[in-house]
Structure 1
């Protein structure tokens, strides 16, 4: 039986650049959400006319302070200009993850046995917008020659493959907000089925743009009532929840077969976690809204558990998809009740309360938070949770789990689930476990 383990992690999030910074701030109950009024182009770019004014933006500054500046990640800034920001984030997180895993393949054999599965929900929204405006206003010659290569959502995977000479699987998922988790789940299946021995996997997104925020605002998906207190905008499971926060970032993991990891000298204490099972399903219900009973979410989680040979009673922690929308959180909670009603010891939290919704990168970033919960025996909080299930239409009796309100806590986590769902009715869930011989 092929076992798959996590040996490297890389992060770029609104809480900081790098796993150490992001995780430290997350466990300290900090928020990475800011007001668009703080942006330098607030008055000129169109932000001021949008009713929602809260975003999760990767902080800018030197890497030594856990922040983002391009020159810290590229030897030549001209190289970075040829890549969209979502690709830059992916390359930075990949460098961290591969360095962490101590896997930088040099021989042809090593490169051929290493694959990439990195997706993006949207690709380069900024390049789509800027080139459309330039073409409309000034014509053909103002369209950038690299417009299409910068736009495509598979260019994160492509550039990772090129930079590191990875000649194995080259795969890119685009399944809305389930992209990151689907990417990791697909990479897991590639390893289980012998397509590779090592996979670089995850999701990346950089869609902080006035048009993107305006689109979500017009769809009534994003929060609009916390403009004065952005850190309080995302309130998963709370009675006052009323929309998600648009965010950006990237999460990359290095996965490999256990046999390969041990054969190349990875110490058992350096293995972060093991992936036991992957589940996915479709709602077949609506393009943006989940089925109210959460049946699709339930089936995805059940498939992950069944394939892991883990019972619902064994799960210690769930990193919920919960985006802070009225219907989405309620539907996911219905699914929790259907599967975990007899497991009141399970802790459930939404780390989106700290970082917002990273769209196609969400599941990858949250997988890393889940893995760190297992490795460090710490469960991150659901911030801004005052009264779970108290919104009109919620069934208060169903909101009785431990949602880890407002304060992270110490807890031994042997088995955990990470959930990601998305527009189009896509659902995914992965079961992670503490590595044991």
Structure 2
């Protein structure tokens, strides 16, 4: 513990030396809906925390709804006295923020690794899954891909407007994959990529996607699942900030336009043993087939994680590469679980179902549990789409049905934690019901 504190203290002191104009640091963590919460600390106080002083925040901050409100979930929030819970600094995540008007720093915090971790904190849920796999000699390598849209900074009657092409000044309203769009929006995209790199995120490929103002950024393959999810979370935060600095809004909303493709979170996962052998490639790829079967079996029960809100369900069965059934296939982007062409060393699955606004810690945890379950059960999967275009299993396409499917699933309760499953499902149910409590203009048009 002493050497751990020494490492953190050295990180803080180095940061202060390299960034003497920074007076405050945001200590941040991801809540259940995938939003950052936290506190802004004077940088000199950060040294004390790094040296071992306690860092406490309300436990129930993790339970915030999509709009920031608290729901009664069991005894949490209203019958527990709103207790504090210990957090710790995540080493290596203290970085400068360059999208604010004043110099600022930020650093991730978490309850995992403390004496009493919060069972339903997303990072802790993933940490427990990774720890269990490590004890089994399974070492995941993970790469996220995130799609997002750029909009004009100004909304019109609350609705997003197409981003303006910096070259012509016209709305970028033509869906295409043309690489020229990367050049036209290069100022903001280059700043997003460099800012992400400054945060320690391994940015690789940038793609102009099909939707107007839609782009995708890929991250490098990472042998630390927690760090890979950290990258995805931090990228969303920095990208929104950089976009505003350039006069745009960046959004990871799953389906901002009905007529154009939604935005997804694609996750590549391969599994290795301690010697570096690809476990999925062994025995004529039988483990790969078992892992796929496990993913598909649990997928219908993980829909509240993969599609975490009402809008995310709109993305399913959309215009491009968004599945409506649990399916798999080789080099097939219509499948939920795609097997990209690769050599045995790099054999992996690409899980394509999650929306871009899903919680990356929970998405990865759910995928890994599916893989783990499949390797244990050793079942054969259904036919791939390459053999049968109608192959697939139904999954819920509405939130309340999805919550019911998740809540009683025994494998998820065992491997993700029963307390987490109960809390998460109730959070999603309450969020959905709260969303339904507002009468939209369409209802008056239809029924008044």
Category of TM-score, reference length = shorter chain:
under 0.3
Where relative contact order (Cα < 8 A, 6+ residues apart) is larger, the structure is 1
| Structure with larger Rg | 2
Give me the TM-score of the superposition, normalised by structure 2. Answer: 0.27
